[in-house]
Amino acid sequence: MPIRVRAKPPGEFIRDHLVSVGGIDYPQSIHRAYKAYLKAQGFKNGASRGTMSKYIWLANKMGLIQFDHAEASAYWNAIEDGVEVPADYVRESRPQAPSPRHYYRIIDPTDDRWIRLEASYRESIGIEVPPMMPRPPIRPPKVEKPPPKLKPPPKPKPPRKPKVVKPKPPTAEERVRPYEERLGLIVATLSELEASPSMELVAEIENEALGLSEDVLEAAGKARGTERTLLSGINVRLLAVLGEIPLLRNSVARYLASETATERERNMAALRAAIRVVREDLTPLPAEERGE
């Protein structure tokens, strides 16, 4: 998501929105409110639904929000013939439409991690993040002394017309960089899976790969030339990762079902091999191997 100097970043907006509505809301409502806010600030292209889901996932991952309850929408009730959401309903990892609305509750609105949500998450998993650039101080305008009253003021010289320097448009690599950074989050989750295998981490990897693939396909439909080629390459890597998810899930299941130390060691070796395959799918080939 591009840096918006005149608007709040997603994390800060999510925090302020949840506080303003009483501390609880569901992702689609937050997304609509953020799009309306960006439009009011003069931005034509708002945040996509997948991007907003990513920031809500990050906030939930860091414990800034938590799942509170589920409530059926009017469309869901119509499809399900008026069936109410059961009281013991458990949040789905990736709900399919039609599904109940998942409401989240804010935990601590005073937490400083809301300001730089994605950077705070990277720091929490050991990725180095550059510090926030300080804003330049505002210099007071110079006050010129008026000329003596006895002397007429000198005639001012006509000002020179400033040269208009048009900013260079971003390169294809710069426009694709946010998607590459999201691939880095999947790689970080793979490291977590290797350190502490669980089926929940496998589901997170699958969800992030699916969401990123949808965003990449949407961007590739509007792109041209090198940018479109780079986006297509990212999508090919994501499809390869999604194809290896069953292998990854089976490897974790076999490891968790190990009964002896020998089985656990053997199954961990198989799991590491599966993780290495997925990590290689996410890593782009060198230029000489691509034939460039």
Higher pLDDT, 283 or 114: 114
pTM: 0.42
Residue 76 confidence (pLDDT) above 60: no
CATH classification code of 173-282: 1.20.120
91 vs 70: CA distance, rounded Å? 7
What's the pLDDT score for residue 85?
62
Tell me: domain 10-114, CATH 3.40.50.620, correct? no
What's the pLDDT score for residue 70?
79
Residue 178 confidence (pLDDT) above 80: yes
Radius of gyration from C-alpha coordinates of the chain:
25
Residue 237 near residue 284, CB atoms below 8 Å: yes
Higher pLDDT, 179 or 92: 179
Residue 106 near residue 68, CB atoms below 8 Å: no
pLDDT band for position 121 (50/70/90)? confident
Residue 281 near residue 237, CB atoms below 8 Å: yes
Residue ranges per structural domain of the chain: 10-114, 173-282
Higher pLDDT, 87 or 77: 87
Residue 110 near residue 64, CB atoms below 8 Å: no
Q: Which DSSP string corresponds to 92-144? A: -SS--SS--EEEEEES-TT-GGGTTHHHHHHHHTT---PPPPPPPPPPPPP-P
**Token match 């479109």: residue?**
228
Each residue's pLDDT tens digit, 193-223:
889 999 999 899 889 989 988 998 888 888 8
